[in-house]
Copies of this chain bind each other. A is one copy, B any other.
Amino acid sequence: MTDSEPGGGPILFYFDFSSPFAYLAANKINDVAKLYNREVDWRPTLLGAVFKLNGNKPLLEQPLKGEYARRDLARCARLMGLPMEMPESFPFLSVAAARAIWWLKGKDEALAQTVALALFNAAFQEAKAIDSAEAVLEIAAENGVDPEELKAALNDPEVKEKLKTEVDASIAAGVCGAPYFIVDGEPFWGADRIDHLEHWLSTGGW
């Protein structure tokens, strides 16, 4: 599930749990993929590394752009028919959530996606804090994950190292924001590029 070869490989879906635009995409991308018989490979990353690299603040915190982006975000959500609430504490740490998903992916990709979507929806539909290990454990347990096993995994140096490796790999792959997709080697950045991505799948590129 980690390669994206021309002609049928999975759609690589890179995201940071603290990205509200990634939340919108997370509720949409599997439906689009299904239309073209594609799988989606959900790959959490941490955008802090990208912000360090290009010296930017997160979009919603930038002067002028932040105010516009909040309005655009709410408008995009309404257009997509998705509820949208911002958690009280924002931006938030997404390390525990990302570690949990990488550990789950090693066991069961479908379950990893179910839990990832539940985490996104808790944050951006119910405005819940998902930054702590406790919150992640609770939401994972509600979706059938053994909380004791996950608790141990979150403290496992190998799991911590796995996330670091994947964050580095995402930067090496060019991931400059979230959501970020790669389909058959072609990158698409933004919830507002899902339409281009779909057009790419339906036409084979242009």
Contacts and interface: CB of A to CB of B under 8 A. Distances in A.
A202 interface: no
Interface in A46-71: 50, 53-57, 62-65, 67-68, 71
B177 A65 contact: yes
Contacts of A78: 206
Interface string A158-194: 0000000000000100111100000000011110110
A28 interface: no
A151 interface: no
A18 to B, nearest CB: 18
Interface in A191-206: 192-193, 196, 199, 206
B67 A174 contact: yes
B57 A53 contact: no
**Interface range on chain A: under 10, 10 to 19, 20 to 34, or 35 or more?**
20 to 34
Contacts of A71: 187
A79 interface: yes
A72 interface: yes
A163 to B, nearest CB: 19
Contacts of A189: 68, 72
Q: Which 8 A-B pairs have the closest CB atoms?
A: A64-B176, A65-B176, A54-B62, A54-B63, A53-B63, A68-B176, A78-B206, A192-B192
